[in-house]
Amino acid sequence: MPEEPEIDTDKLHEAIQDELEHDEGAKLVRVIAVTTAIFAAIAAVAALLAGGTANEALILETESTRMQVEASDQWAYYQAKGVKAAVQEAARTSWLSIGKEPPAQYSQTQKRYTDEQAEIAKKAKEKEKQRDEKAAVAAHLLHRHHGFANTVALLQVAIALGAVAALSRIRWIWYASIMLGATAIVMLAVTMIGARF
């Protein structure tokens, strides 16, 4: 009678299957780690772009505010010249009311103040135009900033899902991570392309 083998083949087969499953799981974890690292690198670039556009927008907003202050100063100066012209007119009218001819300086000074007002108004309007231009660029940059910030947020969620997939070794979670990361990459590309136009 032949002897039976001392090694239980059923147990050996189970051990081999366990090892193969373990090895396949290790491969999955490595692939998940690579995709997560790629997402992290892209998220870092998007975060830099978000920070840069936000800083640039804040600088332009500050310049816009400065232009508004300068325009307001010009309009205050305009009004002061108007008051001075009105004082000259009142003084001239006082002379006329007592039946005397006013000195010529009142009319000349009033005309000078009125002419100065026209130049001041021109400067004020130019400052307001510059303010509006800077404010428009700042608003565009803030819109871009939101696109970059949303990209970072989506990539962070994709990275978190990748970590969960690596720990649980559940493929569909990893697929969800990839889909979310791909969506974020498309959003980043659209935001960057939109910045050029």
pLDDT averaged per 10 residues, the chain (length 197) = 45 51 73 91 93 93 94 93 88 84 86 91 94 93 93 94 89 94 95 73
Distance CA 61, CA 69 (A): 12
What pLDDT shows up at residue 168?
86
Q: Where are the domains of the chain?
A: 32-196
What pLDDT shows up at residue 13?
44
Predicted TM-score of the model (pTM): 0.68
What pLDDT shows up at residue 93?
87
Tell me the torsion sign for CA atoms 135, 141, 145, 147.
Answer: positive
What pLDDT shows up at residue 58?
94
What pLDDT shows up at residue 7?
43
Distance CA 52, CA 13 (A): 58
- Please report, for residues 17, 47, 139, 196, the alpha-carbon distance to residue 57 in angstroms, rounded to integers and kept in the order given: 59, 15, 7, 16
Distance CA 34, CA 29 (A): 9
Among 67, 81, 66, CA closest to 120: 81
